[in-house]
């Protein structure tokens, strides 16, 4: 009796299992799926039940740099990172042999296919749209494996050297064009203001004399040695009238 008591005690000890809060135990009884247990302490039948522990925390998978051709036939290198978690532990064990490797290959294939459907400018500017498209495709594939794809994010896009030079020249030309447009707009605005000022002065000649006096004051305030003498506008008008008088033939 003592032997059987000791044997039962040993079997009871062997059947005690502990899973952490982030773990679940997938129990198989005589080779068939029985149930998912955990977290905490639970007991299985030794030599009849087997357990496989599954981590249900969010996992990360680095997708190494891959050469991919865009829709406009530009060869680029892209790497990415994928975040996923197991929501059905039994499916992750039963439906696929290695869910980590399978999810990696699914993400890699989706990355190449999606980039091949977009132009280079779209890959560089619309990353959020491309990331969402990749995540949706991979999530559909891995859904039957009990996985949920939380995020797929492209990290780096490496361009060929000649393409980098071409884009740098294009950016420089764009900046130069923008600078010329701003300068032309400023000159246009200045010419309009000068035209308005000239019209106001033409309506009131006294304003021209006041402006001249102001300029003399500004020159004197700067302690310059150069002296500027302005001829009143009446003298200029008189000189023009005299010059325009018809000459008499003697």
The pTM score is 0.66
In the chain, what are the domain boundaries?
2-54, 59-159
The answer to whether 157 and 124 have CB atoms below 8 angstroms apart is yes
- Would you say 89 and 146 are in contact if contact means Cβ atoms under 8 Å apart? yes
Nearest Cα residue to 145 out of 59, 40, 41: 59
Average pLDDT value for the chain: 84
Orientation angle between helical segments 99-116 and 127-142, nearest 10 degrees: 140
State both tokens at 148.
């949920």
Tell me the fold of 59-159: Tetrahydropterin Synthase; Chain A (3.30.479)
The C-alpha atoms of residue 234 and residue 231 are separated, in whole angstroms, by 8
pLDDT tens column, 108-123: 999 999 999 999 889 9
**23-37, 136-150, 162-176: range with lowest mean pLDDT:** 162-176
Q: Per residue in 137-162, pLDDT tens?
A: 999 999 999 999 999 999 888 888 87
């Amino acid at each position: 009796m003592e032997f059987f008591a000791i044997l039962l005690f040993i079997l009871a000890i062997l059947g005690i299992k502990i899973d952490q809060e982030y773990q679940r135990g997938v129990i198989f009884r005589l080779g068939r799926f029985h149930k998912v247990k955990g977290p905490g302490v639970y007991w299985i039948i030794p030599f009849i039940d087997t357990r496989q522990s599954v981590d249900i925390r969010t996992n990360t998978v680095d997708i190494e740099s891959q050469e991919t051709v865009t829709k406009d036939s530009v060869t680029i290198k892209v790497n990415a990172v994928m975040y996923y978690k197991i929501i059905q532990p039994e499916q992750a064990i039963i439906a696929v042999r290695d869910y980590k490797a399978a999810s990696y290959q699914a993400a890699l294939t989706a990355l190449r296919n999606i980039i091949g459907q977009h132009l280079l400018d779209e890959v560089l500017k619309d990353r959020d749209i491309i990331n969402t498209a990749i995540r949706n495709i991979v999530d559909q594939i891995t859904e039957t494996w009990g996985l949920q794809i939380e995020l797929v994010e492209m990290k780096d896009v490496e361009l060929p050297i000649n393409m980098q030079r071409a884009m740098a020249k294009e950016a420089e030309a764009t900046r130069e064009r923008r600078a010329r447009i701003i300068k032309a707009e400023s000159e246009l605005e200045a010419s309009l203001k000068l035209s308005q000022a000239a019209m106001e002065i033409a309506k009131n000649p006294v304003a021209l004399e006041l402006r001249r006096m102001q300029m003399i004051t500004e020159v004197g305030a700067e302690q310059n040695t150069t002296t500027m003498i302005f001829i009143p506008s009446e003298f200029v008008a008189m000189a023009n009238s005299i010059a325009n008088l018809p000459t008499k033939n003697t």
